[in-house]
Structure 1
Amino acid sequence: MNELQYEKPTINKIDFTMASKYGSPLKTQNIRTEIDGISVHTLSEKFGSPLFVFSQRQMEEKYNTLYSAFSSRYPDVQFGWSYKTNYLNKICKVFHDLGSCAEVVSEFEYQKARALGIEGKDIIFNGPYKPYKDLKIAVEEGAKIHVDNLFELNDLEKIADELQREIPVAIRINMDTGVHPQWSRFGFNFENGDAYDAVKRMYDGGKLYLNGIHAHIGTFMLDANAYKIATVKIMQLKAQVENDFNSEIEYIDLGGGFASKSNLKGVYQSADVIVPTADDYAQAITDAIYTNNKSEKLPKLYLETGRAMIDEAGYLLTSVHGYKRFPDGKKGYILDAGVNLLYTSTWFNFNIELDKHYEGDNEVSMLNGPLCMNIDIIEEHLMLPALNRGSILTISPVGAYNYTQAMQFIRYKPAVVMIDKEGTAHCIKEVDDLATVNYKEV
């Protein structure tokens, strides 16, 4: 028989008005005992805590749903896996095996894609900063270069001189789609004519020619109609360029930004209600292409998919290290995972699930991470029962951006596991240690 732990008694106000016909938050518990058939306790015991866990089955289901939504409506669709969303090798390989090319925004990501065996012709090179030597390598290897600014255009003309050949490039544009704030930092503006002027500059120079037009209008986009507006403007520029310069634009790229079923802070409707479906996004984009295409041939359609395909396939297991009472009576739990691993906690309210049913009523609690920083708060007000030291919580969805932006700060970065389609867990990234942190120091 387990001995009961002593806890100093406290008096806390119970607000019975919180109860409704849907039940009482004093009793409700969200529970997750397993991921893809493997117990969260088994995963934690074998691979350690905290632990990132990814489901290959869910990744492939998300890919197939999104790809089917587009390919059933449009004849020539190519997905590009967004490396910045999650660049772990095994994760990238899953999407490459499904047919995605690589979309990168730095020389580091470009090198990573090449190391994974992706040919230059199958890499989209985006981003506002492309170092000259890496830009030249990408050109030599046939990558799809998306020009962001005039300085980059100058660099490409110089590279064209060095290689003594014309270089095909795409141009990134930004525009007003009715969504604010407008992403005007990247590329050339459509409305004020900067985009057209940049294209004219290319053709006047005679060293570059345009073969693609790209836009990435935002992130976690909840309005599918914004993609319709963006597509219309891309197609308008395409028609103008093809007419004025007697050229053919081979492809258009609508970027990414499709939302996952995450709950935004400050938005009180469920993600199930406000997040567009894959069909919503696909219908908005493809309808606009068909309606606005002025040439005999339809352009190839690229999409830089990321968040929508992996966010809900990622989980973070974390263990309760201890707890304490704050002066206001609220109970605060100390976890072994904090904001160092959950970069997106700034914007999203995560699902927090318990490893079993716990006896007793819930009370307002706080979840704190392990950092010696006052800002290390995962959830400030959460109704929880009395948890034990060693209780395992599952935090989700965390598949997008959290690992790639996780900090090696105060704590080592944890291990990462992927559960394959047969239900077997594989370690795809070992936990960091002192040798990892000290590597490269001199």
Structure 2
Amino acid sequence: MYKKPVIEKIDTFASKVPSSPYKTQRIKKEIDGVDVYDLVKEFGSPLFVFSERDIENKYLEFKEAFSSRYPDVEFWWSYKTNYLGAICKVFHKLGSKAEVVSEFEYQKARHLGIDGKDIIFNGPYKSKEALEVAVKEGAKIHIDHWDEINDLEEIADKLGVNIPVAIRCNMNTGVYPLWSRFGFNIDNNEAYDAIKRIYEGKKLYLTGLHTHIGTFMLSADAYRVAAKKLTELKNRVEEEFGFNIEYLDLGGGFASKNRLKGVYQPPEVIVPTPDDYAIAITDTIYATNKGNLPKLYLETGRALIDEAGYLLTSVFASKRLPDGKVSYILDAGVNLLYTSFWYNFDIFLSKKYDDISELSILNGPLCMNIDVIADNIYLPPLNRGDVVTIAPVGAYNVTQWMQFIRYRPAVVLIDKNSNPHLIREKEDLEDIIKREIIPEYLK
């Protein structure tokens, strides 16, 4: 077939990285033995797909890294990372408890059968009503600010109980920007002052210390700093106030093997391993701790689920843009991939193409100019209906996706025996309008 010749603009980024995967056809015909076209045929396109096998393998890798170095480690699944019921159930089945940051997530964990005592209740916004429920059900409440101390003391008076609590701490770990919004600062003694306030109030008692120093942390040494400061605070408040700190919670933030925009080294080079994180944290606690060795809690989310998630999307149309690039219009856009603003995803084709690749752009279906999934990507000529697999997309996309212009798609979990299971139905008009109310005068 004749193709009109074009003059291709040389892209600076692409020309400087000749070995980039953008110039290489990456092929993915199946996920855990299930053909991508069979998945699309049965469940529709676009389609989120999760691999139970990948989830379990990554969970066991992190569990081994920490449990082989520390005697008492507990994992608490971060619901905000992906709170689909089936995904949470997989992690709970593996032994992870629940970490939530809102009343909604707390209710979801309880709905899934998680006891209050197995829930960490984090977050800067906890209504007084939600706090009271959490107190009654024995949840681990991590205090974020001074007003929350006051709310809990009032609840303690109302219920006639002393309430066990933890506080969230922030600090300078040498990684910027600092996550200073959440909790009490250790470096300026605010965290110590909050603990002193708790001690003097005699209505709450401290059982844990928590920090979550950031997201997608590429420095294991930052966790070394965090563990040292948190353990030093533990030593101080145990000695001065007689509290028994049962656990240190080092939060999450561990990076997945995704590719941050603006970072050109591959994830295999710059992303610390589970062992790197584990060594930094556990060695530091051993070296710094005085008194009883605390339990170690980890709220691991992204690193456990991101690489287990895939998005299957189909080519709907193509056009050549004025700059010479080919634009492929997919049926999935940034409404489903919120994290596309931060990551250069891996793009997989469903088969090998013999045609010459040229500089292309993958656009979504939205009537918005920002709807770009991948730019400066070398692709062979794709046909309408061809399936493209985008990965890793398991973290935050399903919890942050938007019902905007198009319905949200179905989600499938492939079990360890390569059987696909529908775990969320695709939306239809009824899902969107059932909460709407039209006043009588407009009918």
TM bucket, shorter chain: over 0.9
1:153 partnered with 2:149: yes
Q: Specify the alignment match of 1:40 in structure 2.
A: 36
Unaligned runs of 5+ in 1: none
SS at match of 1:263: coil
Quote how far apart the aligned CAs of 1:154 are: 0.4
1:207 partnered with 2:193: no
Quote how far apart the aligned CAs of 1:27 are: 6.9
Quote how far apart the aligned CAs of 1:276 are: 0.3
Distance in 1 of aligned mates of 2:20 and 2:332: 29
Distance 1:25 1:229, change over 3 A: closer
Is the Cα contact below 8 Å between 2:51 and 2:413 reproduced in 1? yes
Quote how far apart the aligned CAs of 1:440 are: 2.0
Q: Which AA in structure 2 matches 1:338?
A: G
Residue by residue over 1:98-119, the C-alpha shift from the partner in whole angstroms, topping out at 9 and shown as x without a partner, is 1011000000000000000000
1:246 partnered with 2:242: yes
SS at match of 1:264: coil
Distance in 1 of aligned mates of 2:15 and 2:144: 54
SS at match of 1:252: strand
Q: Which AA in structure 1 matches 2:175?
A: V
Distance 1:21 1:337, change over 3 A: closer
Report the TM-score when normalising by structure 2.
0.96
Distance in 1 of aligned mates of 2:22 and 2:113: 53
Counterpart selection for 2:290 from 291, 294, 302: 294
1:74 partnered with 2:70: yes
Quote how far apart the aligned CAs of 1:282 are: 0.4
1:422 partnered with 2:409: no
Q: Specify the alignment match of 2:374 in structure 1.
A: 379
Correspondence 1:121-160 to 2 at 5 A:
121-160=117-156
Distance in 2 of aligned mates of 1:157 and 1:83: 27
Is the Cα contact below 8 Å between 1:175 and 1:184 reproduced in 2? yes
Is the Cα contact below 8 Å between 2:224 and 2:284 reproduced in 1? yes
Distance in 2 of aligned mates of 1:306 and 1:200: 32
Q: Which AA in structure 2 matches 1:235?
A: T
Unaligned runs of 5+ in 2: 438-443
Q: Specify the alignment match of 2:182 in structure 1.
A: 186
1:198 partnered with 2:194: yes
Distance 1:23 1:124, change over 3 A: closer
Distance in 2 of aligned mates of 1:26 and 1:253: 39
Is the Cα contact below 8 Å between 1:10 and 1:329 reproduced in 2? no
Report the TM-score when normalising by structure 1.
0.96
SS at match of 1:305: coil
Equivalent pairs, count: 436
Q: Specify the alignment match of 1:258 in structure 2.
A: 254
Counterpart selection for 2:8 from 6, 13, 30: 13
SS at match of 2:400: coil
Is the Cα contact below 8 Å between 1:26 and 1:362 reproduced in 2? no
Distance in 2 of aligned mates of 1:311 and 1:100: 17
Quote how far apart the aligned CAs of 1:22 are: 7.7
1:92 partnered with 2:88: yes
Is the Cα contact below 8 Å between 1:323 and 1:332 reproduced in 2? yes
Quote how far apart the aligned CAs of 1:25 are: 7.8
Counterpart selection for 2:338 from 336, 339, 343: 343
Q: Specify the alignment match of 2:318 in structure 1.
A: 323
Residue by residue over 1:383-430, the C-alpha shift from the partner in whole angstroms, topping out at 9 and shown as x without a partner, is 000000001000000000011100000000000000000000000000
Distance 1:349 1:21, change over 3 A: closer
Residue by residue over 1:317-376, the C-alpha shift from the partner in whole angstroms, topping out at 9 and shown as x without a partner, is 000000011122211110000000001111100000101111211000011000001110
Q: Specify the alignment match of 2:440 in structure 1.
A: none
Quote how far apart the aligned CAs of 1:83 are: 0.1
Quote how far apart the aligned CAs of 1:12 are: 2.3
Is the Cα contact below 8 Å between 2:315 and 2:329 reproduced in 1? yes
SS at match of 1:422: coil
Counterpart selection for 1:233 from 229, 236, 242: 229
Q: Which AA in structure 2 matches 1:172?
A: R
Distance in 2 of aligned mates of 1:318 and 1:236: 50
Q: Which AA in structure 2 matches 1:80?
A: W
Q: Specify the alignment match of 2:329 in structure 1.
A: 334
Is the Cα contact below 8 Å between 1:27 and 1:361 reproduced in 2? no
SS at match of 2:373: strand
Q: Which AA in structure 1 matches 2:309?
A: G
Q: Specify the alignment match of 1:278 in structure 2.
A: 274
Is the Cα contact below 8 Å between 2:22 and 2:376 reproduced in 1? no
Is the Cα contact below 8 Å between 2:11 and 2:376 reproduced in 1? no
Residue by residue over 1:123-171, the C-alpha shift from the partner in whole angstroms, topping out at 9 and shown as x without a partner, is 0000000011011100110000000000011000000000111100000
Distance 1:16 1:340, change over 3 A: closer
Quote how far apart the aligned CAs of 1:20 are: 10
Distance in 2 of aligned mates of 1:42 and 1:414: 16
Distance 1:21 1:167, change over 3 A: closer
Distance in 2 of aligned mates of 1:421 and 1:26: 31
Q: Specify the alignment match of 1:30 in structure 2.
A: 26
Counterpart selection for 1:365 from 360, 364, 371: 360
Distance in 2 of aligned mates of 1:14 and 1:197: 60
Q: Specify the alignment match of 2:441 in structure 1.
A: none
Is the Cα contact below 8 Å between 2:166 and 2:208 reproduced in 1? yes
